[in-house]
Chains A and B, each alone.
Chain A
């Protein structure tokens, strides 16, 4: 009960203090707000890119074209060999006839041309469509398949996938560096704000020490003030994350440009992001004030 009374008094004092040095508090709060907005963008971007990359990766397939005049026994042999390879997730065989039927169904022009073909005349090639377990080694698997007899061409999204992943990686790294820099600047600003609070309340601190307030009781209001600065600073970023992301998701209909690039659904994603923002705001605020207390509050 006593601890609770002291704590509630500390909370009240810290809250008052935020508004007592309002100009300085506002500077710190704005800095946190900007930082957290950037953090929010970085998190949303990173998660969406990761989500999208894994969707794309799931879709990357090796297509092995078999020779036109391949016999059924030879096809079986190719299948055996593909089965023996490492890193194979799954594969499907699509015969010449299946592909032909599919194409004929898809357009009337194909239908009229292809219906006249005899089996020997059909220039289409039967294929094995192979999915791999480890997408990074897709090149090795493709090379292995190429070596198999009666396999004429092997195709997969050569280069495209790797390039995409590396671009996303650099975006991630750059935003990470920006976030760290902003966090440091913010912590420094908060530290400065708290330093001035400590200075302006030095008489109060002196009296608290004289009348026997414990050190932790003297320090807590300042740490709490940092916490409040962080908390208040996270209000705008949280609101803009929740409303902004939902709006973007709605506007784009859940996808960017093509159905391949799917956005993460706003719920519960944006709540997780908001929670992370509040946590980061509070931690940065408390870290800044802790630094100031450690440096300037000698007791």
Chain B
């Protein structure tokens, strides 16, 4: 089953720059997909349209049954509840502990305390940070902070996890730890789309890889067929 279907998607920014040209793409439920390409090739624009931070100028985008292109601003939250997003800069609240940061995502949705407690502990266990629940983000390493961000993104059990360069700020070893966590999450059934510059990781992981160039799909590698050839 398709989780994401993009058809004839075009994105032109107000300043006249076209970031995406007539893009067709489908992503299956449970997939792990890398999106790679040089800077300015439209990777970020592509995933921003998936979580409706940007609106396509033309074309159709369906995410989990929702027509994202037609979604009004007031209804975007319905889409956001179906997916989680992780960024390069973690976006954690410094004044809250690890536990509180993760719980925050559920509190704003109005879940009861007992349910929040249960879910947060479970997800912290999954990312391997159960013992750091009471620490503040400043007391954690970069890799740990990113794991907190991942925990927050998936605590609500989304079908889709979008990662925008999650390893961009991390060294190789830490990056691989993060990849292990993501793979774990993927195994549990969550579809993962990850934008990255790091072709070493992509080569190691051997997942489906979409290579973008100037707003177009240059190559779509099936799972296990990607070879590090440089972009």
Contacts and interface: CB of A to CB of B under 8 A. Distances in A.
Given A5-B112, A211-B80, A211-B105, 13 more contacts: A5-B111, A6-B110, A207-B91, A207-B152, A209-B80, A210-B51, A211-B81, A211-B156, A212-B77, A213-B108, A214-B74, A215-B73, A217-B108
B78 interface: yes
A203 B108 contact: no
A203 B112 CA distance: 24
B91 A299 contact: no
A208 interface: yes
A215 B110 contact: no
Point out which of A6, A209, A213 has the most chain B C-beta atoms below 10 A from its C-beta: A213
Interface in B109-151: 109-112
A3 interface: yes
Nearest to A298: B73
Given A203-B91, A204-B93, A206-B91, A211 B108 contact: yes
A211 B110 contact: no
Given A2-B110, A3-B110, A207 B104 contact: yes
Contact of A203 (B84, B93, B152): B93
A14 to B, nearest CB: 14
Tell which of A204, A210, A214, A217 has the most Cβ of chain B within 10 Å.
A210
Interface string A199-243: 000011011111111110100000000000000000000000000
Nearest to A6: B110
B110 A5 contact: yes
A147 interface: no
Contact of A213 (B51, B77, B79, B112): B77
Number of chain A interface residues as a range:
20 to 34
21 contacts: A1-B112, A2-B111, A3-B110, A6-B108, A6-B109, A9-B107, A9-B110, A203-B91, A204-B93, A207-B105, A210-B91, A211-B80, A211-B81, A211-B108, A211-B152, A212-B108, A212-B109, A213-B108, A214-B77, A215-B77, A217-B108
B85 interface: yes
Nearest to A7: B110
Given A5-B112, A6-B110, A212 B74 contact: no
Interface string A1-26: 11101100100000000000000000
Contacts of B91: 203, 206-207, 210
A88 B149 CA distance: 84
B81 A299 contact: no
A208 B73 CA distance: 14
A299 B85 CA distance: 17
A207 B77 CA distance: 12
A208 B81 CA distance: 11
Contacts of B107: 9
Given A215-B74, A215-B77, A299-B73, A210 B109 contact: no
Nearest to B155: A211
A212 B112 contact: no
A80 B148 CA distance: 98
Given A203-B91, A204-B93, A212 B78 contact: yes
